[in-house]
Structure 1
Amino acid sequence: MKDYSPRPDLLAGRVILVTGASSGLGRAASLAFARHGATVALLARNEAKLEAVYDEIIAAGGAEPAMFPYDLAVADDRSLETLAGTLAHHLKRLDGVLHSAHQFYNLTPLSLQTLDQWQSLMRVNLIAPFALTRACLPLLKQSPDASVVFTGETHGHQPAAFWGGYAVAKSGLETLTRIWADEISPEENLRINTLIPGQVATSLRARTHPGLDPDTLPSTDDLMPWYLYLMGADSTSVRGQIIECRN
């Protein structure tokens, strides 16, 4: 997949919502989607950082994005349905969702993790992606070819000590992916998958592995062929899969 070469207009005419769009893989994916023709709806908590990504897309000649400053930690059904309605009103369609927002504290043993931390980890990393996708389903189902991509985590796929609530939440996305894919009729033009980025040079990886030289890791841009493939029409037959990026 690292050798996948998407055509320049792969996402032309599509509207794609990206959560966590202000930094890391979410930012890189937003820029890549825009470069390939998509109109990107940028969602993140930090409005200033969202504006910076907005400016980057415009400066590169991309379609004007939409910005949604929104905190998934306090999301509820009503506000998510309002968000979906705003997308429908202003952008008229929705062809894809990339769930890249995340919440992470520290690598600690389970005995030191608190109930409040677990509630926050579950809410942002598992519950909000489910609820946002559910709110957007009517729009997604109107698309001739819609793709939802959850962002998994290596230690959610293969649990390890100290990853605690973060890994549990991320493992839940894999189960959610399989259940939802099983519920979607093969005739429907909607597919749901989970993509596990693996080790990549992001601020999160710097926190969890401070001894790793970021120059030895793939960059966020190195992983974009995977993201483009899953969001574009070339992956229409890929459904309910847990996919690990391998470079």
Structure 2
Amino acid sequence: MFNHQIKENSLENKVILVTGAGSGIGRQAALTYAQLGATVILLGRTVEKLESVYDEILAKGYPEAAIVPLDMKGASKQNYIDMANTIIDQFGKLDGALLNASVLGELTPFSTIHEQIFDDVMQINVKAQFLLSQALIPVMLKSSTPSLVFTSSGVGNKGRAYWGAYSMSKFATEGMMELIADEYDNTNLRTNAINPGATKTPMRTKAYPAEDQDTLAKPLDIMPLYVYLMSDDSSSINGKVIKAQ
């Protein structure tokens, strides 16, 4: 899977939702999925960023994308249910969902984690993923080979000093992924998580402002795994946390 050969049109006729699609890894994943023939649903907080991705997809002649502006910090359970119903009405199914949107919060000693920062990180990184997954799974089960992909981190399976709420949220993400994977193991739904590793993104820059960005992998470099988990080639992979690098 690490050397997965991306095949032209390997995602043709698939409908794939990408959260955090306006920048970083989410943006690149959305563009890559569209290039390979998928109709991509772009979910993010900033309309201008989503429109930029939409315009690029359209300009390159890929299947026309859809835009869902949604702020996960304030979205309700009903917002996600309404979105799932819209997906059914417009597309009839959902073949894949890349749950990529996350926030870093603050890197700080455990004893000084601010309660509001903790709440915000857990709301976006955990509760929103939980509510979104609950809403999407019934739609995904209408597909023959649906793939639900969470985003984890190296600090999501081994605690690291000062990574605070973000680290705790990624432990929760991996637990949620494993729970869903086990519950739906005898269905057509497969659920996995990607640890993207050190990648040149705005979040990485915030966490490591003094780091030489030129030494990092670019989002495009790690796309083989993102494509693999959305393609039918990975139909037997379930309940795994996989490193992209």
TM exceeds 0.5? yes
**1:209 aligned partner, one-letter code:** Y
Distance 2:71 2:39 in 1: 22
Equivalent residue number for residue 93 of structure 1? 93
Equivalent residue number for residue 235 of structure 1? 234
Does the alignment pair 1:196 with 2:195? yes
Equivalent residue number for residue 127 of structure 1? 127
**2:237 aligned partner, one-letter code:** V
Deviation at 1:131, TM superposition (A): 1.0
**1:241 aligned partner, one-letter code:** K
- Determine helix, strand or coil for the equivalent of 2:41: strand
TM-score (norm 1): 0.97
Distance 1:227 1:143 in 2: 19
Unmatched runs of 5 consecutive residues or more in structure 1: none
Does the alignment pair 1:64 with 2:64? yes
Equivalent residue number for residue 19 of structure 2? 19
Alignment check: 8 A CA contact 2:24 2:202 kept = yes
**2:7 aligned partner, one-letter code:** R
Equivalent residue number for residue 171 of structure 1? 171
Does the alignment pair 1:181 with 2:181? yes
Equivalent residue number for residue 224 of structure 1? 223
Q: CA RMSD in A?
A: 1.0
Deviation at 1:91, TM superposition (A): 2.2
Deviation at 1:197, TM superposition (A): 0.4
Unmatched runs of 5 consecutive residues or more in structure 2: none
Equivalent residue number for residue 150 of structure 2? 150
**1:217 aligned partner, one-letter code:** L
- Determine helix, strand or coil for the equivalent of 2:121: helix
Distance 2:138 2:105 in 1: 34
- Determine helix, strand or coil for the equivalent of 1:238: coil
Distance 2:164 2:202 in 1: 19
- Determine helix, strand or coil for the equivalent of 2:73: helix
Aligned-residue identity in percent: 39
Alignment check: 8 A CA contact 2:106 2:164 kept = no
State the number of aligned residues.
245
Deviation at 1:119, TM superposition (A): 1.1
- Determine helix, strand or coil for the equivalent of 1:142: coil
Equivalent residue number for residue 46 of structure 1? 46
Distance 1:12 1:217 in 2: 31
* CA distances 1:112-160 after superposition (whole Å, capped 9, x unpaired): 2111111111110011112101101111001001000000011122210
Deviation at 1:38, TM superposition (A): 0.3
- Determine helix, strand or coil for the equivalent of 2:18: strand
* CA distances 1:55-111 after superposition (whole Å, capped 9, x unpaired): 011111110000000011112211110011111112222101001111222211122
Deviates more, 1:27-36 or 1:124-133: 124-133
Alignment check: 8 A CA contact 2:105 2:118 kept = no
Deviates more, 1:148-157 or 1:31-40: 148-157
**1:245 aligned partner, one-letter code:** A
TM-score (norm 2): 0.97
Distance 2:157 2:36 in 1: 30
Alignment check: 8 A CA contact 2:19 2:26 kept = yes
Distance 2:54 2:150 in 1: 22
Deviates more, 1:86-95 or 1:16-25: 86-95
Runs of 4+ residues over 6 Å off in structure 1: none
